[in-house]
Chains A and B, each alone.
Chain A
Amino acid sequence: MARFAMALDYKNCINCRACESACKQENGILLDKDHYRIWVGVKEIEGEFPNLSIASQAYYPSQCQHCDNAPCQQVCPTNATYYDQNGVVRINPEQCILCTYCINACPYDARYVDNRTITVDKCNFCADTRLANGETTTACQATCPTKVRIFGDLDDPNSEISQVLSKREYKQIKAGLGTKPKLFYLI
């Protein structure tokens, strides 16, 4: 029993997509440009050459937020989407009927249709791959060149993530929606 979450030193992110590459290899994601569990959010640059806004080019490493109050779970008619014992929002492929309600309900655009398993897929904190293999961290965390991510258990006050969140300021994305997301962007 744990409450897994991720803190992100997002200012470190160089938009290199090693996380996406590692996630695909680790989790057997179809090698297709429309299949990915993790991405970097970036807006179109503001301004005209040569007067461009550097600030408009912040990179937001993104994946499923593992909301404690997940809209995707609420709308799922078959309970294919569920919280596992570690607070990870998971999908049971056997039960998924591809109604795609969850895709529309997710405010973070975390879900997509996986043409291989013919279910809706998204990040599951590597629960059935690395964590099931006894690893203590996710593929995207391990591989990141600039070490953006800290993965860990919020219920354990001594975990690195709990310590960091108690000491540093952070923001949560679209926190106002009441989804209680578990990705914490460190400021």
Chain B
Amino acid sequence: MKVEVSRRRFLQGSIALTIAGGYAMSPSEILASAKAKASESGQAGRKKIATLCEMCVNKCAAFAYVEDGVVTKLDPNPYFPKSRNMLCPRGNAGVQALYDPDRLKYPLIRDGEKGSGKFKRVSWDEAYKYIGDKLAQILDEEHDNRSTVAFCAGEGVAEHTFKNFFTGFGSSHFLNHASLCLATTVSGYALTIGGYGSADLVNADYVIMAGANRAEAIVTPDTMDFFKRTIGRGAKLITVDPRFTNTAAKSDKWIPLKVGTDLAFVLALTYVAINEEIYNKQFVATSFNNFEAYKNHILSSGYTPEWAQKITGIPAQDIYEVARTFMSHAPRAIYYQGRRTTWSKNDFQLRRAQALFSALGGGVDVKGGICFGKNLPLIGHDVPSPIYDNAKSRIDKNEAAVVGGSGSWVGFRNMILEGRNPYPIRALFNYKHNPMSNMPNSRKTAEFLKKLDLVVTIDTMPSDTVMLSDVILPECTYLERTDPVKSFGGIEPAIAQRNKVVEPLFETKAVIDIMRGLTKNISKQLFAVTKKYDTEVQDAIEKDGEESVYGDFDLTKAFYESQEELNHHAVANYPDAVQALEEKGVYYPDMDKYFKKLNVNNYEYYPESKKAYSVKNGKLATPSGKVECKIDSLVSKGIDAMPLWKDEYLKEIPDGKFNFITGRHAQFTQSGSSNNKLLLSLVPTNYAWINKRVATKRGIKFGDLIEVSSKVGKTTIRAYPTEKIGQDTLFFVHGFGNASSDLTLAHDNGGNDANILEDIIEPMHGATCLHETIVEIRKV
């Protein structure tokens, strides 16, 4: 980003201004600045501080080593049952994120055309004032319709802090990653068996992982628990994936099904289980609601393995074998739920079918099945939640059958672009979220961001979305802040806390401090607009006086206390928690008694008798308390009551074209780590997987540049010809190919899936379908 240093500021004579914003700073200059901060705040010597990783969503416990104020190394912290004494490649690379020379360093305001990358450095107060004035103007023009301002956030424990601001502000529009990720899976399992739960991979004997690539897309503790037991060592693994992944390499059987046909596969498994009556009859009798209807539906629809073979490309014999072996191992058998799902339009029904098939074996709320575990409650923190009479309801609520509190991101964006919004949407607050990269069809996202009058982005790196923002508020990285303490329910529940390791570098701040500063500056100014248009408020003021009414609308209240104080309060019911969380980063009742080192690699967190495998006493958290075969309440919204296959789900891939699929590998996390020097030294770029024979025919060799194009856009990427993918499928990992020229290493590095993915949404939650795009390729 080009930073304009105004003459006035320059004459004030601070030489540091010449390196404002994105001006390159060498790593050694950064370290020198970190050391200077340390000596100011008296952080000399070597220290070991307990923290939580934020290089991805798992939140593994770590210990940071600090030498004279510089973080030198992150080590796994063994105390946390969820992360089991490990740090993955990204966790180890956290130090490089902290000292990335391209980090956002100062508040910036756009100083040129949108997207020009021109910004000027401002003080925090100037940034707050700019935002306050802009918001007051917009709200005035929109007659205090708070919903004209939308809020979006990426996943993380501090999302909660940002959400407190959203709640006080009073908009209806919150948007987050759910509709770009796992909305359908979470609700598919929740509405069917009463929760997404956690798969007990320590004890399951038979697991079907379909599209869930746990060897590469690491989820804790699943990844660690499971792969110690695969390859003939206790657990059988069936991997269903159109691509031969590292997970496939660990499996007993790999089933390369045709992209988008998972539902037919699961229905056929169900057919075999029901037709051969090999399901868990006792569990079905006691715990299923409407089983007869489901049974009749499955049998009468003729979902035989022979039928499924034609759709999925999987030999019928394999389907029989998987269904039978699954049921012979049940209830210690799991059809693994998965994440980052929503592949196709039938995704909600697919997840329902998976949950039902799993439940047919009885593997719900039992050891070795899908468990719901125990929760360690925290004390909540009251934040003002004022009611604004002029705030209108969500615009995207009819974009799908059930649009929840986190919205349909693509639906929302497209409504605005297509002019279908019933009232203007004029501003966006964005916390740690990169819609330019995480949402299909980046051309549309850019158009959307440009359309808005005010985009305020809080982030650590100059992402593609940052570059299209109007105001940039630089957040410190996770190693520079204490975050809200979090409770992790499960079979082995625990509470964990991210503690600040070093002081924030440059002028960056923790989001709670940003929110405190912002609300202090803008709260009264925004209330003045409400007072002008809100008759309820006017009446109340007449009755109770302005001061008393403002008390309910005071946005600063949520941020009075420091994060440390809030955390102390949250765990006040647990006597020794504060100290344990500060020293060890982790706490659970009786930890002193239960926590044991078994050997150099393994720890015990709870004795077997204290693990929360079964907690429901036969009553699941569904409306009937049982497994729901049929959900009639959704029918009026156009959602089938039971999972069924429709011919329209089958797509033809024209000759010479490919079905594009996307995913992850273990050495990076989406666009958030795309500029990480250490991770790029492991895998320098992403590659397009293309079948080797197809590549040969087209004269494409390893490393050749190819252009991948779809209906909505194109991207350029290097080819990786391999037999690990079929002839009609093309794959590359998400998160590369960033446009931002301020990301020195990530800029233009590799292919960007957001450029080519079509923005198709499914009917249940308006979640994006990631595997529906057909692409063609051309050697460049």
Contacts and interface: CB of A to CB of B under 8 A. Distances in A.
Interface stretch (A46-54, A81-89, A92-100, A115-123): A46-54
A63 interface: no
Contacts of B724: 45, 49, 52
Given A24-B678, A25-B74, A25-B93, A147 B684 contact: no
Given A16-B216, A49-B723, A50-B726, A25 B73 contact: yes
Interface stretch (B83-91, B359-367, B479-487, B531-539): B83-91
Secondary structure type dominating chain B contacts = loop
A125 interface: no
B53 to A, nearest CB: 11
Nearest to B232: A11
Nearest to B676: A31
B609 interface: no
Interface stretch (B1-9, B249-257, B330-338, B446-454): B249-257
**Of residues A20, A35, A49, A139, which shows the largest number of chain B Cβ atoms within 10 Å of its Cβ?**
A49
A172 interface: no
A21 B723 contact: no
A22 interface: yes
Given A45-B244, A146-B224, A17 B682 contact: yes
A156 interface: no
A42 to B, nearest CB: 8
Nearest to B233: A11
A18 interface: yes
A78 interface: no
Contact of B691 (A18, A49, A141): A49
Contact of B677 (A31, A49, A149, A151): A31
B75 A142 contact: yes
A21 B92 contact: yes
B227 interface: yes
A106 interface: no
A179 interface: no
Interface residues on B, range: 35 or more
B636 interface: no
B73 A14 contact: no
Interface stretch (B140-148, B515-523, B599-607): B599-607
Nearest to B727: A49
B418 to A, nearest CB: 40
Given A141-B600, A143-B76, A147-B601, A18 B86 contact: yes
Interface string B666-704: 110000000001111110100000010100000000000
Contacts of B223: 14, 145-146
A26 interface: yes
**Of residues B76, B86, B599, B600, which shows the largest number of chain A Cβ atoms within 10 Å of its Cβ?**
B600
A17 B666 contact: yes
A74 interface: no
Interface in A13-43: 14-18, 20-22, 24-26, 30-33, 35
Interface in A43-79: 45, 47-50, 52, 54, 57-59
A74 B227 CA distance: 39
B254 A21 contact: no
Contacts of B227: 12, 14, 146
Given A48-B723, A54-B251, A145 B88 contact: yes
Nearest to A47: B723
B350 interface: no
A53 B252 CA distance: 11
Interface string B233-250: 100000000001011111
A144 interface: yes
Given A16-B218, A54-B251, A146-B224, A33 B681 contact: yes
A18 B601 contact: no
Contacts of B89: 16-18, 20-21
A143 B679 contact: no
B681 A22 contact: no
Nearest to A28: B72
Contacts, number: 146
A147 B86 contact: yes
A143 B75 contact: yes
Given A17-B682, A142-B76, A52 B244 contact: yes
Contacts of A114: none
Contacts of A18: 86-89, 91-92, 666
Given A12-B227, A22-B92, A54-B248, A31 B681 contact: yes
A22 B91 CA distance: 9
Contacts of B73: 25-26, 139
Contact of B600 (A11, A25, A143, A150): A150
A21 B682 contact: yes
Interface in B443-467: none
A153 to B, nearest CB: 12
B710 interface: no
Nearest to B86: A145
B249 A54 contact: yes
A124 B382 CA distance: 54
Contacts of B600: 137, 141, 150-152, 160
Contacts of B92: 18, 21-22, 24-25, 143
A145 B246 contact: no
A166 B235 CA distance: 26
B233 A50 contact: no
A17 B601 CA distance: 17
B224 A145 contact: yes
Nearest to A161: B600
Interface string B58-94: 0000000000000001111000000011111111110
A52 B228 contact: no
Given A45-B723, A141-B600, A11 B231 contact: yes
Contacts of B90: 21
B161 interface: no
Contacts of B679: 21
**Of residues A17, A18, A141, A151, which shows the largest number of chain B Cβ atoms within 10 Å of its Cβ?**
A18
B695 to A, nearest CB: 12
Contacts of A49: 244, 256, 691, 723-727
A24 B89 CA distance: 10
A30 B681 CA distance: 9
Interface in B642-682: 666-667, 677-682
Contact of B682 (A33, A47, A145): A33
Contact of A25 (B95, B228, B256, B723): B95
A141 B601 CA distance: 8
A137 B85 CA distance: 14
Given A17-B666, A146-B228, 5 more contacts: A11-B231, A16-B246, A25-B93, A52-B244, A143-B92
Interface of A: 9, 11-12, 14-18, 20-22, 24-26, 30-33, 35, 45, 47-50, 52, 54, 57-59, 137, 139, 141-147, 149-152, 160
6 contacts: A16-B246, A52-B254, A144-B86, A145-B218, A146-B224, A147-B86
Interface of B: 73-76, 84-93, 95-96, 215-216, 218, 223-224, 227-228, 230-231, 233, 244, 246-252, 254, 256, 599-602, 666-667, 677-682, 684, 691, 693, 722-727
The 6 closest A-B pairs by CB, nearest first: A57-B249, A147-B601, A21-B89, A14-B215, A21-B92, A16-B666
